[in-house]
Amino acid sequence: MSTPTAPAQAPKKGKKLLILLVCVVFAGAGAAFPMFVNVPALFAKSKEDKGKEKKESKTAIVPFGEITVNLSEDRLARYLRVKVSVLVEADSEKEVTDLVTKKKAAIKSAMITHLAGKSVKDVSGSSGVTRMQRELLERMEDVLYPDGGSHIKSVLFEEYVVQ
């Protein structure tokens, strides 16, 4: 009876050995692959793609101005002061500058109305700053481009003070 159990254990040892051998071969191949192949070149962009990105990424900064608003706090009088600039496509810098100058009062009113409802918690921290940039961009686009087709890439803060 001990004879039939011995052959049953031999294939299990063979399977384990085969699996171990396959793992060692693949690990060795994975380690040797970068020695024979220029891996960074596989993931690098061609010179044409880099040139297109540089052409597309030309931007300009249009200054907007400073906004000071009281925050919505129950116990304390707190305020937020931001100095805003707008990042635009370089091709449309003059158009956006003219639009911002022409509709500055409406933009500022929309921004003040939006910011006045915020609490200190809403505007604090890096996530609060990022959220404010995104929300002010939306307000600015609503005033300048009500039908869409915005040339504004983002809203930038030169100063951001919560006190």
Please name the residue ranges forming H helices in 37-103.
39-43, 47-56, 93-102
pLDDT at 7: 53
CA–CA distance, 32 with 67 (Å, rounded to integer)? 59
Side-chain-facing half-sphere of 60: CA atoms under 13 Å? 13
Residues of the chain with pLDDT under 70: 1-12, 45-57
What length does the chain have?
A: 163
Distance between start and end Cα atoms, the chain:
87
pLDDT at 85: 95
Which architecture does CATH list for 58-162? Answer: 2-Layer Sandwich (3.30)
pLDDT tens column, 54-78: 556 689 999 999 999 998 887 888 8
pLDDT at 45: 67
pLDDT at 103: 94
Q: 64 by DSSP, 3-state: which?
A: strand
pLDDT at 50: 58
pLDDT tens column, 20-35: 999 999 898 888 877 7
pLDDT at 154: 93
pLDDT at 32: 82
CA–CA distance, 155 with 81 (Å, rounded to integer)? 15
Enumerate residues 6+ apart whose C-beta is below 8 A from 121: 128
pLDDT at 75: 82
CA–CA distance, 65 with 161 (Å, rounded to integer)? 14
- Please, is 89 exposed, middle or buried when counting C-beta atoms within 10 Å of its C-beta (0-12, 13-18, 19+)? middle
Enumerate residues 6+ apart whose C-beta is below 8 A from 120: 71, 73, 78, 162
